[in-house]
Structure 1
Amino acid sequence: MELCHAVLNLPFSGPPLDHWTLPNGVRCVTADMPDAPLTCLDLWCRAGSASEQTGEEGMAHFLEHMVFKGSERLAAGAFDEAIEALGGSSNAATGFDDVHFHVLTPPDRAREALDLLLELVLQPSLDPGGFSTERGVVLEEIAQYADQPNEQVLQLLLSKGCEQHPYGRPILGTPRSLEAMTPAAMQAFHRRQYRGSNCCLAVAGPASAELRTAVGSSALAGLVDAPDPSSPPPSLSVRPGRHRVAVDRLESARLLMLWEAPQAHDQGGVMAADLATTLLGEGRRSRLVNHLREDLQIVESVSMDLSVLEQGSLITLEVICPDEHLEAVEHEVNRQLRTMTQELVTDQELKRGQQLVSNGLRYALESTGQVSGLCASQSLWDRQQDLLQPLAFLSPWTAERLRSDLFSKLQPEQACVLTAQAKTENE
Structure 2
Amino acid sequence: MPPAGGSHRPTARTSSEGRAVGRTETLLPGDNGTGTVRRTTLPGGLRVVTETLPTVRSVTFGIWARVGSRDETPALGGATHYLEHLLFKGTGRRSALDISAALDAVGGEMNAFTTKEYTCYYARVLDRDVPLAVDVLCDMLTGSVIDAAEVEAERGVILEEIAMTEDDPDDCVHDLFTRTMLGDSPLGRPVLGTVETVEGLTRDRVARFYKKHYDPTHLVVTAAGNVDHDRITGLVHAAFEQAGALSRTDAEPVGPRSGSRAVRAAGRVDLLSRSTEQAHVVLGMPGLPRTDERRWALGVLNTALGGGMSSRLFQEIREKRGLAYSVYSFTTGFADCGLFGVYAGCRPGQVHDVLKICRDELEQAALHGLTDEEIRRATGQLAGSTVLGLEDTGALMHRIGKGELVWGDQLSVDDMLARIAAVTPDEVREVARDLLGQRPSLSVIGPLKDRQADRLHEVVA
TM-score, length-normalised on structure 1?
0.89
Q: Is the 8 A contact 1:105 1:113 kept in 2?
A: yes
Answer yes or no: is 1:333 the counterpart of 2:358. yes
The 1:101–1:343 alpha-carbon spacing in structure 2 relative to 1, beyond 3 Å, is same
| TM superposition shift of 1:192 | 1.0
Match of 2:134 in 1: 114
Counterpart-to-counterpart distance in 1, 2:300 and 2:258: 29
Name stretches of at least 5 consecutive residues in structure 2 with no aligned partner: 1-30, 454-461
Name stretches of at least 5 consecutive residues in structure 1 with no aligned partner: 1-10
Match of 1:214 in 2: 235
1:318 equivalent among 335, 343, 348: 343
1:242 equivalent among 268, 273, 284: 268
| TM superposition shift of 1:308 | 3.3
Match of 1:3 in 2: none
TM-score, length-normalised on structure 2?
0.83
| TM superposition shift of 1:364 | 2.1
Q: Is the 8 A contact 1:374 1:387 kept in 2?
A: no
Task: State, as a whole percentage, how many aligned pairs show the same letter.
Answer: 24
| TM superposition shift of 1:348 | 1.9
| TM superposition shift of 1:387 | 3.5
Q: Is the 8 A contact 2:302 2:331 kept in 1?
A: yes
The 1:89–1:331 alpha-carbon spacing in structure 2 relative to 1, beyond 3 Å, is closer
| TM superposition shift of 1:53 | 2.3
1:34 equivalent among 36, 46, 54: 54
The 1:326–1:375 alpha-carbon spacing in structure 2 relative to 1, beyond 3 Å, is same
Q: Is the 8 A contact 1:165 1:236 kept in 2?
A: no
Letter in 2 for 1:211: I
| TM superposition shift of 1:377 | 1.1
Q: Is the 8 A contact 1:163 1:239 kept in 2?
A: no
Q: Give the SS at the match of 1:358.
A: helix
1:97 equivalent among 105, 114, 117: 117
Counterpart-to-counterpart distance in 1, 2:157 and 2:335: 29
- After TM superposition, the runs of 4+ consecutive aligned structure 1 residues lying more than 6 A away are 226-229
Q: Deviations along 1:68-120, whole A, 9 cap, x unmatched?
A: 11011111211111122233221111111110111112212212321111111
| TM superposition shift of 1:354 | 0.8
Q: CA RMSD in A?
A: 2.5
1:292 equivalent among 298, 304, 317: 317
Q: Which has the higher contact order (CA 8 A, sep 6+)?
A: 1
| TM superposition shift of 1:314 | 2.4
Q: Give the SS at the match of 1:93.
A: strand
Aligned counterparts, 1:150-189, within 5 A: 150-189=170-209
Letter in 2 for 1:156: L
| TM superposition shift of 1:420 | 4.1
Counterpart-to-counterpart distance in 2, 1:210 and 1:325: 59
Aligned counterparts, 1:217-236, within 5 A: 217-219=238-240, 222=246, 224=248, 225=251, 235-236=261-262
Counterpart-to-counterpart distance in 1, 2:391 and 2:172: 34
Q: Deviations along 1:25-74, whole A, 9 cap, x unmatched?
A: 22211101112221111100111111212311100000011111101111
Aligned residues: 414
Once structures 1 and 2 are overlaid, which stretch shifts more, 344-353 or 199-208? 344-353
Q: Is the 8 A contact 1:246 1:423 kept in 2?
A: no
The 1:186–1:387 alpha-carbon spacing in structure 2 relative to 1, beyond 3 Å, is farther
Match of 2:288 in 1: 262
Q: Deviations along 1:100-158, whole A, 9 cap, x unmatched?
A: 11111221221232111111122111111111011111112112222333333332221
| TM superposition shift of 1:197 | 2.4
